[in-house]
Amino acid sequence: MKASIRWEKSAAGTESLLFNTGTDLHRVDAEDLKCHVWKFGVSSVRHREKLGSTRGWPVTPDANSAQSLRSTIQAIRSTRDSPWMICRVRWNDYDAAETCKLNEEIKMAQDRVAFIPWNENQAGNFKTEYERNNTQRGASHHKRKWTMVYLDSPGTPLADMGFGFGTRLHIAGHGDIGDPEIAADHGTGGADRSYVEVADMLFQKGLQKRYIGTIACDVCYSALGDPPFAKLLAKELWSRGLKASCVLGYKGSLYATYDSFYADGSDMGGKYSHRMVELDDGSEVKSSKAQCRFFGWT
């Protein structure tokens, strides 16, 4: 049985966190916690002593200080052991301004960030497609908001990426089977980017080594080749200290926008629109059915 986490609400309205480790089930009353952090595989004595338990650590910040809570979470996230999963934070008792910033981090776990490794004026159809996803997200299943980050975006916006289940950073580019480089959109004049350059640019725009989540290559055929682009990027990021993430690639030609019809114009049917991938045999499947995850240590 796979590890999983979910929230359950009783008939009386009480919320509980159900954490399935794969071998047993733990229940935690949500109202008893300001913040609860779970960790897989606490193996070292040092971490057991820090946690006080191998199962989790309820965190209560001093003097109801939002800054204290923020610092505590940051410290926990910086651990080099197995990934932390931030399950839920109840912010009602904390400073409104700080709450807003922290909620934005948590929200990123549901929304998507698209990194386009060229200047905005060279983004071409990559920008157009992600903007279209925002206008059409009402027809999609999860109704996620897409935020675009370009090479010339001010500051280090990737430093604000969220963490936990569902967090995803997408990288845009054109690719081919086994190609170690991705290309800019046609006619924009942007130079090709190697997987090493893409890694450079991710960190340049603020990506943190403690980032927990998936990095998806919105690049055609990025899961195919020997080695594929996504695997090359995974190994490069791992070598630079990004230990708690994986890189996702696609086994065909990706249609990056949400669609409700096939390439031949026929209707897909069903309640929601989807991002699709065309496989080598000409068939089209939901993007989730044509993904492959790569880990840097493999």
pLDDT tens, residue by residue, 188-203:
999 999 999 999 999 9
pLDDT tens, residue by residue, 42-85:
233 333 333 333 333 333 333 333 444 444 444 444 433 333 33
Token representation of residue 245:
């993430």
How far is it, in rounded angstroms, from Cα 73 to Cα 68? 9
Q: Which residues pair with 114 in a beta bridge?
A: 148, 170
Average pLDDT over residues 229-248: 93
Could you give all domains of the chain from N- to C-terminal order, each with its CATH number? 4-107 (no CATH), 112-294 (3.40.50)
Q: Kindly tell me if the per-residue pLDDT of 239 is higher than 60.
A: yes
Q: DSSP letters of 150-171? A: ETTSSS-GGGG---STT-EEEE
Of 271, 270, 288, 212, the closest CA to residue 244 belongs to 212
In sequence order, the 6+-apart residues with CB closer than 8 A to the CB of 191 are: 184
pLDDT tens, residue by residue, 78-133:
433 333 333 333 323 333 333 344 344 444 446 789 999 999 999 999 998 888 87
**Omega before 227 within 30 of 0, i.e. cis:** yes
Q: Which range, 26-40, 56-70, 142-156, 172-186, is most confident?
A: 172-186
H-state helical runs in the chain: 45-51, 66-77, 96-107, 124-136, 195-204, 229-239
pTM: 0.62
Query: Alpha carbon 192 to chain centroid distance?
Result: 24
Residue with token string 């590890």: 3
Token representation of residue 235:
């190994």
- Ranking 24-28, 120-124, 188-192, 249-253 by mean pLDDT, the lowest is 24-28
Q: How many helices (H) and strands (E) does the chain have?
A: 6, 17
Exposure of 216 in the CB half-sphere (CA atoms within 13 A): 18
- Single-letter residue type at 31: E
DSSP state of 24: -
Q: What share of the chain is helix, strand, coil (3-state, %, to 5)?
A: 30, 30, 40
- Ranking 74-83, 139-148, 166-175 by mean pLDDT, the lowest is 74-83
Structure confidence at residue 74 (pLDDT): 47
- The dihedral through the CA atoms of 84, 89, 93, 94 has a sign that is positive
182 in Cβ contact with 229 (< 8 Å): yes
- For β-strands 15-20 and 168-172, DSSP reports them as unpaired
Of 41, 44, 43, 38, the closest CA to residue 59 belongs to 38
